[in-house]
Structure 1
Amino acid sequence: MMLKIPVLDLKGGIAVSGKSGQRETYTPLNTCYANSANPVEIAENLKLNGASEIYIADLDLIESKGHNINEIKMVNSILPVIFDGGVKDFDSYTFFLDYAYKIIVATETLESIDELKKIFNKYPKERIVISIDIKDNELYTKNLNLTLNEIKPILKELDPNEIILLDITGVGTNKGVNYELLNEFKEFKDKLIIAGGLNKDSIAELEKEGIKKVLIGTSLHSGEIAIL
C-alpha cells in the first residue's frame, strides 16, 4: 500500500501554500484539516486522520530569513517530522537532529558532496533523507556543479535508505507524475519518495510503477486525496 506523507511548508510561524517554488508569492495554507494555518493544529488533525509522519520545509531557514524551529519541535512531538531546514553542511545537519525525526539533505542548499559524505559517515541512514531537487527537469542547486546524471553515481556510493525526487516546477500545480524524471531515476525505485504536483490519479499510477511513498501537499489539503 502506498504511504502518503502530508506536506507542510512553514513561513513566519504558519503553514503556507503556493506554486512552482515561487516562495515570495506563498499565502497562508487553506486546509481541510484545520480552521487555521497553525502547524500544530494541522498536525494534530493529520494524525487523527491516519498520518504516520509529516514532511515540513522551513522556507525561512532555507532562504536564511529567520526560522520556525520551535514550531517544528512542537509538531515533532505529535508526528515524526521529516525536516528540510536548508542543510548546508555537517554542522547544520547535526544541529537539526534535536528538532526532528529525519533530516533532509537537499541539493538546493548542500554546500558540497564532501559534507554529504561526512554526514553519512557519522549518522545512521535511518535519520538521513537525500532530496534531489529539480526545476525544469534539471538539478536545482545553489552550490553543486553537477547534473542529474552526475548525481546518480554519488547516490549509488552512499546508498541512502530514502531519496526524495522533488519536482519543484510541479509543486502546487496538480499536473501529475513527471515520468521523464521517474524514468531517469528508475534504478533507485525502491528508495524513492515522489513529490511535486501529484494528483488523485498519480497514486494508482505510481503504485503500478512500484513506488511505495509519496509526498502530498495541495491535493491532500484540498481534500482531493485522503491520507488512508
Structure 2
Amino acid sequence: MNSPTPPILAVLDIKHGQAVHAVAGKRASYRPLPNNLVTHPAPLELAKRYIQQGIQGLYVADLDAIQGGPLQTTTLQPLLDLGVPLWLDAGIVDQRDWQKKHPQLDDPDHVVDWIVASETFRDSHSDLSPPPWIRAALNETKMTFGIDFFDGSIRTAVSQSDPPSLFPWVEQLIATGFDSFLLLDIAVVGTGSGPACGSLCQQMRQRFPSIRLYSGGGIRSLEDLNQLIRSGCDAVLVGSALHRPESARLIVTGDSKRKLT
C-alpha cells in the first residue's frame, strides 16, 4: 500500500463543489479561484492542470465535510480516479464519523490517505491519546495525523487547560500506529508569507527519523519549498503559488529534478 511520496502535493480546497482560495483559516470568506486559472473553478479541471504541470500528488480539503456537512463524493471520486496519490482532510470527528465517511471512498484501486486533523478530531482522551478504534483503522487504510497550529500555537478539538507538549504527544501517536504526520500553521495558509513550521519539522525529523513528514502553508517560491525539504519534509503542500504562472513554473521545474524516495 505504501508508495513513494511526491515532493509537491498540490492543494485543492473544495466548497460546494467548487475550488476555493483558502486564506488563514477564515473559511466563511473563502471565494472561488479566479477564472483565469481554468475555464471555471471546477476542482477536476484544476487537478488536471496541476498534473499537466508535472504535479504528482493532491492534497484535498473538503470544506463542506470539515464544517459538519456531507462528504462531497461526486466531486472527490473523479479526483481519485485521476490515479495520482491523494490525501484527504474530510474533518474526521470521531469513530461514528469515520465509519460514515470512509466507506464512501473505499476503493481498492485508488487509496486515499485520510487526514486525522487535531483541529477537528475530538475522539481523543483528555491527554490527547487516540482511542483504540484508531489502531484498527490504521491496519486497514492509510492515515496521516495532522497537527494544526495557529500563529505557532497548537489547535485541538479536545479542550486543554494548557497547550499540549508536541513531542510526547507525537510519541503517543506513534505508539498507536501513526507513522505519518502533517504540521500546518493555518494562519499562513494562502497568505504568501512563507512557511511557518520549518524549525518544528527539523526537530520532528531529528527526534522521529522514520516517520513520513509533510508541511506547507505560505509557500511563495522554490526556495520556500526547498527550505521545508531541507527541514526533513518528505513532501510539501503548495496551493496559491501554483496559481501564479511564474512561481508555478519555477517550483514545478525545479522540483521535477528531485528524485522520489
Q: TM-score category by the smaller chain?
A: 0.7 to 0.9
Indicate the residue corresponding to 1:194 in structure 2.
215
Q: Is the 8 A contact 1:131 1:163 kept in 2?
A: yes
Deviation at 1:204, TM superposition (A): 2.0
For residues 89-128 of structure 1, the aligned pairs below 5 Å read 89-97=94-102, 98-99=104-105, 101-113=112-124, 116-124=131-139, 127-128=142-143
Output the CA distance in 2 between the equivalents of 1:45 and 1:196: 20
Tell me the amino acid that sits aligned with residue 131 of structure 1.
G
Which stretch shows the higher mean deviation, 170-179 or 124-133? 124-133
Of residues 29, 40, 45 in structure 2, which corresponds to 1:41? 45
Output the CA distance in 1 between the equivalents of 2:203 and 2:243: 29
Tell me the amino acid that sits aligned with residue 189 of structure 2.
V
Q: Is the 8 A contact 2:71 2:101 kept in 1?
A: no
Output the CA distance in 2 between the equivalents of 1:92 and 1:160: 19
Indicate the residue corresponding to 1:14 in structure 2.
18
Q: Work out which structure has the larger RCO, using CA pairs closer than 8 Å and 6 or more positions apart in sequence.
A: 1
Residue 71 (structure 1) aligned with residue 75 (structure 2): yes
Identity of aligned residues (%): 25
Tell me the amino acid that sits aligned with residue 64 of structure 2.
D
Q: Is the 8 A contact 1:58 1:85 kept in 2?
A: yes
Output the CA distance in 2 between the equivalents of 1:206 and 1:125: 30
Q: Is the 8 A contact 1:9 1:59 kept in 2?
A: yes
Indicate the residue corresponding to 1:204 in structure 2.
226
Tell me the amino acid that sits aligned with residue 141 of structure 1.
T
Output the CA distance in 2 between the equivalents of 1:2 and 1:74: 20
Output the CA distance in 2 between the equivalents of 1:123 and 1:20: 30
Specify the structure having the higher radius of gyration (Cα).
2
How many correspondences in the alignment? 228
Output the CA distance in 1 between the equivalents of 2:25 and 2:19: 15
Output the CA distance in 2 between the equivalents of 1:32 and 1:49: 16
Residue 51 (structure 1) aligned with residue 66 (structure 2): no
Q: Is the 8 A contact 1:126 1:161 kept in 2?
A: no
Specify whether residues 17 and 127 from structure 1 end up closer, same or farther in structure 2 by C-alpha distance, changes over 3 A only.
same
Indicate the residue corresponding to 2:204 in structure 1.
185
Specify whether residues 45 and 8 from structure 1 end up closer, same or farther in structure 2 by C-alpha distance, changes over 3 A only.
same
Q: Which runs of 5+ in 2 are unaligned?
A: 106-110, 257-261
Indicate the residue corresponding to 2:108 in structure 1.
none
Of residues 77, 85, 93 in structure 2, which corresponds to 1:80? 85
**SS at structure 2 position matched to 1:151:** helix
Output the CA distance in 1 between the equivalents of 2:191 and 2:208: 25
Output the CA distance in 2 between the equivalents of 1:43 and 1:165: 23
Q: Is the 8 A contact 2:138 2:177 kept in 1?
A: no
**SS at structure 1 position matched to 2:241:** helix
Deviation at 1:208, TM superposition (A): 2.5
Q: Is the 8 A contact 2:201 2:233 kept in 1?
A: no
Deviation at 1:216, TM superposition (A): 0.6
Deviation at 1:47, TM superposition (A): 2.1
Output the CA distance in 1 between the equivalents of 2:34 and 2:216: 20
Indicate the residue corresponding to 1:156 in structure 2.
174
Specify whether residues 93 and 194 from structure 1 end up closer, same or farther in structure 2 by C-alpha distance, changes over 3 A only.
same
CA RMSD in angstroms, aligned pairs only = 2.5
Specify whether residues 53 and 93 from structure 1 end up closer, same or farther in structure 2 by C-alpha distance, changes over 3 A only.
farther
**SS at structure 1 position matched to 2:219:** coil
Deviations, residues 22-73 of structure 1 (Å, cap 9, x unaligned)? 1111111137752321011112222222222211111111112454222011
Q: Which runs of 5+ in 1 are unaligned?
A: none
Output the CA distance in 1 between the equivalents of 2:62 and 2:219: 21
Give me the TM-score of the superposition, normalised by structure 2: 0.77
